[in-house]
Amino acid sequence: MLQARSWLPRTEGSLRLGFVQGAGETRIGTLRQAGAVRVRFPRPAEGAAPEAVLLNTAGGLTGGDRIDIDVSLAAGCAATVTSAAAEKVYRSLGDATEIRAELQLGEAAACTWLPQPTILFDGANLDRRTQVHMAGSARLLAVEVLIFGRTAMGEDVRRGAIRDAWRVTRDGRLVFADATRVMGAVADALDRTATLDGARATAMVLYVASDAPARLDEIRALLDQVSSTAGVSTWNNILLVRAAARDSQELLHGLQPIMARLSGRPLPRVWQC
């Protein structure tokens, strides 16, 4: 890595978004947006939960940039949070690109967290942490997709630094922890049989709800139809799907029916463009 250039312009952005119950409906109770992060609210279908679409007006992120997202759902609320486009993390001169997301889910709240894929460029330095604090009766569907270079453009992530961590607590107890760390020669690490065996797109679908164990067979049946390498397991009211493919189109084509099935509704329109 080259030495960091502190004089370079930095992208910073933050969002605080809170949903509350009012007149039997989920409504926006708190909205504070600053810097490069903006949010839009498309008109939902009749009877559907509100949908928030996040935007990064900077168009991409690089070393030294930081994004903070804080989303809360009060008791009984339901909402979908997605993004307008894939997040691009460009080559860094040394500093990390920091992304922090925190979700708070009250009793019987239902959150569908569907950010579009993160595309990593050669030399990217990403440090991302996602924390979820949920009540025992809440429901969470979360999706995370990492793409190591745009294979259709002949790109690859030869070197870089990727640190990606998840923590989920339920009624104050840690129930899920996951971390990805790839440093230095990224392409060489991904080519190993014990890691991704040459795949350049990987995904995690996390479903935390009381009915998670009962969904196992139907999700396995859907995975039988995908061409990517994928598997599903369940424990302690958690259902986890992991998948990897040579390119992102193959990966997403197989995962989208699973995401729609677990959410119980069609995917947001931005996922269908």
- Bridge pairing between strands 160-170 and 125-134: parallel
Residues 6+ apart with CB under 8 A from 40: 52, 53, 55, 84
- Bridge pairing between strands 25-35 and 12-22: antiparallel
User: If we measure between CA atoms, which residue out of 121, 97, 250 comes closest to residue 186?
Assistant: 121
Quote the CA–CA distance of 96 and 168 in Å, as a whole number. Answer: 24
Residues 6+ apart with CB under 8 A from 177: 165, 166, 167, 168
In this structure, what token pair is assigned to residue 231? 């598997």
pLDDT tens for the chain, residues 1 to 273: 344 455 567 889 999 999 999 888 899 999 999 999 999 999 877 777 899 999 999 889 999 999 999 999 999 999 999 999 999 999 998 899 999 999 999 999 999 999 999 999 999 999 999 999 999 999 999 999 999 998 878 889 999 999 999 999 999 999 999 999 999 999 999 999 988 888 899 999 999 999 999 999 999 999 999 989 999 999 999 999 999 999 899 999 999 999 999 998 888 988 876
In this structure, what token pair is assigned to residue 58? 């900077």
Mean pLDDT of the chain: 92
Tens of pLDDT, residue by residue over 243-271, are 999 989 999 999 999 999 999 888 898 88
Quote the CA–CA distance of 91 and 88 in Å, as a whole number. Answer: 10
| Strand intervals (E) in 125-172 | 125-134, 139-148, 160-170
